[in-house]
Amino acid sequence: MLAARAHLDGRALRTAQLRHRALASEPFGIVAWQLGAEPYTIAALGAGTRAGGYELHVPGFPLNRDLLFAATLVFAEQFCTWFESVAAGPGQETTHFGGSLHVPDELPQILVANVETIGLLGRLGRRLAYLPTDGDRPADPLLPRLGRHLMWIADYAQTPGQQLIVAATDLLASHWQTAMSTYELGSLAALDAWVDPPAGTHAFHAAARAERFPVGPRPEHGEGDEAQQLMQAFNAARAGSVDPGVVTTLLGPLRTFYDGLVAGTWELMWLAAERERAWPEAPSVERRAREDRIAYAAHVAWMDGPVQGRRRARRTPRAAALRLGELEAAQSMCVAEEAIDDPLRMTPVLLAGKALAGEIIACEADRRERINNRNLKRPRVTLQTDEPCVMPIGKGLWWTRAAGEKEWTVERIAPMETGGSTIALVLQTNRQLSAGLPVVGERACFSELNTRDSHSLYLPSAAPWTHRPADSSFADPSTDIEHTDTENEEAA
Amino acid sequence: MTDRVERVASSLLGSAPSKTPSVRALSSYASHSDCATASLAFAARADLDRMCTGTDYESPIGQDPQAFQRGQTFEAMLKGNGYGALLDLLREEASFPPTAVRIEDLRTRYPRGTGGLKLRARETRRLLQAIANGEDEAPNLIDGAVITGNVAGEVAYYEADSLAAIAGGKLHVGEIKSFAYTDGRCDPEKFGAACDQAAWYILLCRRALQDMGLDPHVVSDEAFIILPVGVGLTPTLLRQNIAGKIRRAQTLLETAPDPAELLALHGPDLQFPGKELDPQARLDVLERLLDAVGTTYRPDSCLRDCGLAQLCRARAHDRSLPQLCGSQVLRNLPGVGTLGRAAELAAGAAPGIGEDHAARALRQASTVYDRVLAGGAL
Q: How many CA within 13 A on the CB side of residue A166?
A: 30
Range with the poorest average pLDDT among A21-35, B251-265, B299-313: B251-265
Among residues of chain A, what percentage have pLDDT more than 90?
80
pLDDT at A478: 59
Q: Answer yes or no: is pLDDT of A74 > 50.
A: yes
Give the closest of B64, B320, B342 to A224, CB-based.
B64
pLDDT at A473: 53
Answer yes or no: do A387 and B364 touch at CB < 8 A: yes
Over residues A78-94, mean pLDDT: 94
B230 at the A interface (CB within 8 A)? yes
Per-residue pLDDT band for B161 (boundaries 50, 70, 90) equals: low
User: Residue A393 is which amino acid?
Assistant: I
User: Residue A169 is which amino acid?
Assistant: T
Mean pLDDT of chain B: 86
Summarize pLDDT for A396-439 with one digit per residue, the tens.
999 999 999 999 999 999 999 988 999 999 999 999 999 999 99
Number of residue pairs across A and B with CB atoms under 8 Å?
A: 172
Answer yes or no: do A37 and B70 touch at CB < 8 A: yes
Question: What letter would DSSP give residue A282?
Answer: P
Question: CA of B180 to nearest chain A CA: how many angstroms apart?
Answer: 7
Q: Answer yes or no: is pLDDT of B4 > 70.
A: no
pLDDT at B349: 92
d(CA A109, CA A26): 8
Q: How far is CA A247 from CA A68, A72, A210, A347, B46, in A?
A: 12, 15, 35, 58, 47
pLDDT at B188: 92
Over residues A380-385, mean pLDDT: 96
Over residues B61-88, mean pLDDT: 86
Range with the poorest average pLDDT among A366-370, B121-125, B149-153: B149-153
- Cα angle: A34, vertex A35, A38; to 5 degrees: 95
Q: Please tell me which residue of chain A has the smallest CA distance to B377.
A: A343
Per-residue pLDDT band for A61 (boundaries 50, 70, 90) equals: very high
pLDDT higher for A487 or B92?
A: B92
pLDDT at B169: 74
Range with the poorest average pLDDT among A105-109, A456-460, B220-224: A456-460
d(CA B123, CA B102): 15
Q: Answer yes or no: is pLDDT of B263 > 70.
A: no
Q: Please tell me which residue of chain A has the smallest CA distance to B57.
A: A208
Over residues A172-196, mean pLDDT: 95
3-class DSSP assignment, residue B152:
coil
Summarize pLDDT for B33-44 with one digit per residue, the tens.
888 888 888 878
pLDDT at B11: 75
Question: CA of A346 to nearest chain B CA: how many angstroms apart?
Answer: 8
- Cα angle: B370, vertex B371, B376; to 5 degrees: 110
pLDDT at B154: 62
Over residues B71-89, mean pLDDT: 89
Contact at 8 Å (CB) between A254 and A60? Answer: yes
Answer yes or no: do B325 and A8 touch at CB < 8 A: no
Among residues of chain B, what percentage have pLDDT more than 70?
92
User: Residue A168 is which amino acid?
Assistant: A
Residue from B31, B66, B327 to probe the interface with A (highest A Cβ count within 10 Å): B66
Question: CA of B2 to nearest chain A CA: how many angstroms apart?
Answer: 40
pLDDT at B19: 81
Question: DSSP states of B282-309 as a string?
Answer: HHHHHHHHHHHH-----HHHHHHH-TTH
Over residues A209-220, mean pLDDT: 90
A227 at the B interface (CB within 8 A)? yes
pLDDT at A487: 43
Give me the interface pTM, i.e. the ipTM: 0.86
Q: Answer yes or no: is pLDDT of A100 > 70.
A: yes
A443 at the B interface (CB within 8 A)? yes
Over residues A249-272, mean pLDDT: 96
Per-residue pLDDT band for B338 (boundaries 50, 70, 90) equals: very high
